[in-house]
Amino acid sequence: MEEQRAPAAGSSRRWRTGPAWWSREGDRVRWPWRSTVLVTAFVLIGSHFAAESQVDERAPLDAFARLLLLAAGAQLLWRHRYPVAVAFGTAAAVMVYLGAGYPYGPVFLTVALSCFGAIVAGHRRAAWAAMGTLWAGHVLVAHWLYRWLPPSGDSAAPWGQEIVVAAWVVAIGALSELVRTRREQWAREREERARAARRRADEERLRIARELHDVLAHSISVINVQAGVGLALLDTDPEQARTALTTIRAKSKEALGEVRQVLDTLRAPGAAPRAPAPGLGRLPELVAQAASAGLAVDVEGETPRLPPATDLAAFRVVQEALTNVVRHSGSRHARVRLDHDRRTLRIRIDDDGPATGADAGGSGNGLAGMRERAAALGGTIEAGPRPDGGFRVLAALPVTPKEDDR
What is the per-residue pLDDT across 153-206, written as a single tens digit (0 to 9) for each? Answer: 566 667 666 777 777 778 878 887 888 888 888 888 888 888 888 887 777 677
What is the per-residue pLDDT across 264-311, written as a single tens digit (0 to 9) for each? Answer: 665 555 554 555 677 888 888 888 878 877 789 999 988 878 888 888
Of 308, 384, 377, 373, give the one whose Cα is nearest residue 348: 384
The length of the chain, given as a count of residues: 406
Q: What is the mean pLDDT of the chain?
A: 77
- Of residues 270 and 235, more confidently modeled: 235
Of 78, 97, 90, give the one whose Cα is nearest residue 172: 90
Question: Where do the domains of the chain lie?
Answer: 15-157, 282-406
Q: What kind of architecture, by CATH, is found in domain 282-406?
A: 2-Layer Sandwich (3.30)
How far from 20 is each of 30, 32, 124, 189, CA to CA, in Å?
10, 12, 19, 16
Question: Full-prediction pTM beyond 0.95?
Answer: no
**What is the percent of the chain with per-residue pLDDT over 70, rounded to a whole number?**
76
pLDDT band at 365, cuts 50/70/90? low
- Of residues 73 and 54, more confidently modeled: 73
How far from 339 is each of 230, 260, 303, 348, CA to CA, in Å?
37, 33, 8, 9
Of 364, 284, 353, give the one whose Cα is nearest residue 318: 284
- Of residues 109 and 238, more confidently modeled: 109
What is the per-residue pLDDT across 55-92, written as a single tens digit (0 to 9) for each? Answer: 777 788 888 989 999 999 899 999 888 999 999 999 99
Pick from 36-50, 56-70, 210-224: least confident: 210-224
Pick from 265-274, 340-349, 396-405: least confident: 265-274
CA 365 to chain centroid, in Å, comes to 28
What pLDDT is attached to residue 346?
93
What pLDDT is attached to residue 212?
73
- Of residues 141 and 15, more confidently modeled: 141
Q: How far apart are CA 294 and CA 288, in angstroms?
A: 10
Q: How far apart are CA 322 and CA 293, in angstroms?
A: 10
- Of residues 253 and 322, more confidently modeled: 322
- Of residues 252 and 186, more confidently modeled: 186
